[in-house]
Amino acid sequence: MNHAIIMGASSGIGREVARLLIERGWTVVLAARRQEPLEALRAMAPERVSVASIDVTGAEAPARLVQLFETMGRVDLYFHASGIGKVNRGLEADIETSTMMTNGVGFTRMIGTAYRYFARQGEGHIACITSVAGTKGLGPAPAYSATKAMQSTYLQALEQLAHSQRLRIGFTDIRPGFVDTPLLAANVRYPMLLDVTAVARTIVRAIARRSHVVIIDWRWAVLTAFWRRIPRWLWRRLRL
């Protein structure tokens, strides 16, 4: 594999994964809502890197992504790192709606477009940043945890669909915990905070291995395993 489209490459995990793939000699298209932050990455290898402005919540986003696929000619990996999330204890409607639009509607549009392209191509690999937040419904971030659960379920469903259609499409569901990126609120102390470069390296290894589900890191794997075992009557009484 050496040709990739990275959606959400302007910051955070997406940017760091993009940087590592470029260093490893990949030919990549970097896409994000804001094109300007992508220019520094393009400067690393202008002969192998191109950039595009795509807002996954826009109606034209699927068509723009199709153009990128067709321009590359062959794509081995579609990596989706576009997403938002905020603590919303007040259940502000705008926050919930925008989260649903980006992590729900935008995600489904882009992943569906990539799936259809790879089905025509005959093979491919779809890797996505979901979250350990999808393990349980989190009261402080209802829309975020709900959309992350949806994303993991959607990938699982597509994996089954691809197998039933005898398509050689691989899927990697990447579930990090708190990662030190601009997505996190400032002036808040987060437990078990992960370094973004270390997370990106783990992701690149997981993509190379075509892993199905990756929880980053072992501490979060243990915690989420514990979460799954908490009964509903007890979970609703927890203060998070």
What gap in Å lies between CA 18 and CA 5, rounded to an integer? 9
Q: Which residues does 204 contact at the CB level (< 8 Å), separation at least 6?
A: 17, 20, 21, 24
Q: Where are the beta strands (DSSP E) in 33-151?
A: 49-53, 77-80, 123-129
Whether the CA torsion 190, 220, 217, 8 is positive or negative: it is: negative
The single residue of 78, 115, 117, 144 carrying the catalytic annotation is 144
Does residue 144 have an active-site annotation?
A: yes
What gap in Å lies between CA 130 and CA 31, rounded to an integer? 18
Yes or no: say if 62 and 110 are a contact pair by the CB < 8 Å rule: yes
What gap in Å lies between CA 7 and CA 103, rounded to an integer? 13
Catalytic positions, please? 144
